[in-house]
Copies of this chain bind each other. A is one copy, B any other.
Amino acid sequence: MDDFRLVRAKSGTNQEGTSAHNQRVILDALRINGALSRADLARATNLTKQTVSNLVENLERDGLVRPQDVVRKGRGQPSTPYCLVPEGAFAIGLQIDRHVTRAIAVDLVGNVLVRAEAKLSTDGPATGVRIILGLIEGVRRDLQRQRPQAERRLSGLGIAMPGPFGLDGADDDEWMMASWQAFPLLETLAAGTGLEVGLQNDAAACATAERMLGNARGLDHAVCIYIGYGIGAGLILGGELYSGAHGNAGEIGMALFSDGGRQTPLEHRASMASLYQHLGIDPAADAYHAVFDLVERDDPRIGEWISRAATDLRWAVHLVETLFDPQSVILSGGASETLMRRLLAATEPLLPSLAERKGRPVPRLQLGMTDPWAVALGAAAEPIGRAFEPRFSAILKERG
C-alpha cells in the first residue's frame, strides 16, 4: 500500500524542465562569454534561432538580460548582443567562521553591493544566531537602499561554514564547531529571514566563488584548495559543485598523512590555525592583521611556516590531481595575498603527476581569491547558481 515509498528511482522531467534548462544555458553562456547575439547563442547551445529568440524574449521580460548596441561585423544584418542585467537578481551570502561572521550582498553578475561583519562570541549558536540575523537584516536594508528592486529579486541566502557536517559524537575540539553542527541553523535562519537557504562548507563556497567570478569560470573540472582556519577542497566536477553523500566531500584537512611515523591530519600543519599557533597569535583577536603585519615585516617565523606548509600543500595538490584529474587546482584563502603568493611559490616545483602534460591551457596550480570575503562571496553565489546555472537537478520534476 505505502511500500511505494521504498521504490528508488530518479525523477522524470517535462517541457517545463526543458525550458528551464534552456534558459539557464543561455544565462550561463552570457555569464561565461559576456554579451552574445541570439545567433551566437543558438550556435553555442545547439538550439534553433527561433527557440533562442523566444527564450531571450522571456528573459528580457523577466529583467535578466538586456540588449546592447547593435554591432556591425561584416556582411549580413547587424547583430544585437544581449548581456546579463546585474539588477536581475540578488543574493545574500553569509560566512560563519569560528570567531567572526560576515554577510555580503551581491547581484546577478557578482558585484558586491554590501558587506558587514560581526564578532561571534564563544557563547555558541543560540546567541550567535541573534547576531547573525541582525547582521543579515542590516545588509538587506542597505541593499534595499541601493537597489530598490532588490527585495523582490532576492534569490536566497547562502551559508558557508566550516565542515565537516553531521558528525555524531564529534569532540568539540578547537578545530571543529560541533555545537553549531547540532543547532538547527538552516531552519532558524530560513524562518528568521523568510529566504530560501543553502549550506556549503567554506571550501565549497570558495570553489563556488572561483567558478562564478574567478579563475574557475568556464572550467568544468576544478579543485579549489581553500586555506582558512582549517584547510579544505571545494570540488567542481563535471560542471557542478560536488558535495558527496553527506556534504563532506573534499574535507582534505582531515586526511591523515605520515609525519615522521605519526599520522597527523593535514589541517594541523597546513592551515591558518597552524600558523596562528606557530606565531602564538590569538585567533579570536584580529589575527588577519597580525599576520599581515608579520608578513610585511618579513618575520622569519612566517618563512618557517611557509616551508613546512608548502611541503604538505605540495602533497595535497598531488593528491587531488591524482584523485580528481581536474583541469586546474586553485589555491585560495582568507590570508593576505602576499602570504598566499609566497606559499604558492614555495609549493613549486609541484610533485610529478598525471596533470603534468604538454600544452596545458591553464596552469596546474594557480592563485585564486585571497580575500577574507571570498567565502562570503561564494556563499552568496550559491543561491544565484541554484537559480540560474544549468544543472541536472534543475531539469527534474519535484516530488509531489
- A residues contacting B by CB (< 8 A) are 1, 4, 7-15, 17-18, 21-22, 25-26, 28-29, 32-33, 36, 40-41, 43-47, 51, 73-74, 164, 166-169, 218, 220-221, 233, 237-240, 242-252, 254-259, 263, 315, 318-320, 322-327, 351, 353-354, 357-358, 390, 392, 395-400
Distance in angstroms between the alpha carbons of A25 and B238 in the assembled complex: 20
What are the residues of chain B within 8 A of A7 when measuring CB–CB?
29, 33, 36, 40, 43-44
Distance in angstroms between the alpha carbons of A166 and B44 in the assembled complex: 28
A46/B398 in contact, CB under 8 A = yes
A6: nearest chain-B partner, CB-CB: B33
Q: What are the nearest 8 A-B pairs in CB distance? A: A244-B325, A9-B29, A9-B44, A258-B258, A221-B245, A12-B47, A249-B325, A46-B397
A354/B167 in contact, CB under 8 A = yes
Q: Per a CB cutoff under 8 Å, which of B10, B250, B322, B400 touches A29?
A: B10
A29/B8 in contact, CB under 8 A = yes
What are the residues of chain B within 8 A of A252 when measuring CB–CB?
322-323
Distance in angstroms between the alpha carbons of A252 and B249 in the assembled complex: 16
A357: nearest chain-B partner, CB-CB: B168
- Report if A218-B18 is in contact (Cβ < 8 Å); known contacts: A325-B251, A398-B46: no
Distance in angstroms between the alpha carbons of A324 and B242 in the assembled complex: 9
> Shortest Cβ distance from A339 into chain B, in angstroms?
26
A323/B323 in contact, CB under 8 A = yes
What are the residues of chain B within 8 A of A255 when measuring CB–CB?
318-319, 322-323
Q: Which among A22, A323, A398 has the highest number of chain B CB atoms within 10 Å?
A: A323
Distance in angstroms between the alpha carbons of A218 and B245 in the assembled complex: 13
What are the residues of chain B within 8 A of A237 when measuring CB–CB?
237-238, 242, 244
Q: Per a CB cutoff under 8 Å, which of B166, B320, B327 touches A357?
A: B166
A320: nearest chain-B partner, CB-CB: B323
B45/A25 in contact, CB under 8 A = no
- Report if A14-B18 is in contact (Cβ < 8 Å); known contacts: A221-B244, A351-B256, A354-B246: yes
A46/B357 in contact, CB under 8 A = no
Distance in angstroms between the alpha carbons of A22 and B18 in the assembled complex: 12
What are the residues of chain B within 8 A of A392 when measuring CB–CB?
238, 392, 395
A325/B248 in contact, CB under 8 A = yes
B240/A238 in contact, CB under 8 A = yes
What are the residues of chain B within 8 A of A14 when measuring CB–CB?
18, 47, 51
What are the residues of chain B within 8 A of A243 when measuring CB–CB?
325
> Shortest Cβ distance from A18 into chain B, in angstroms?
5
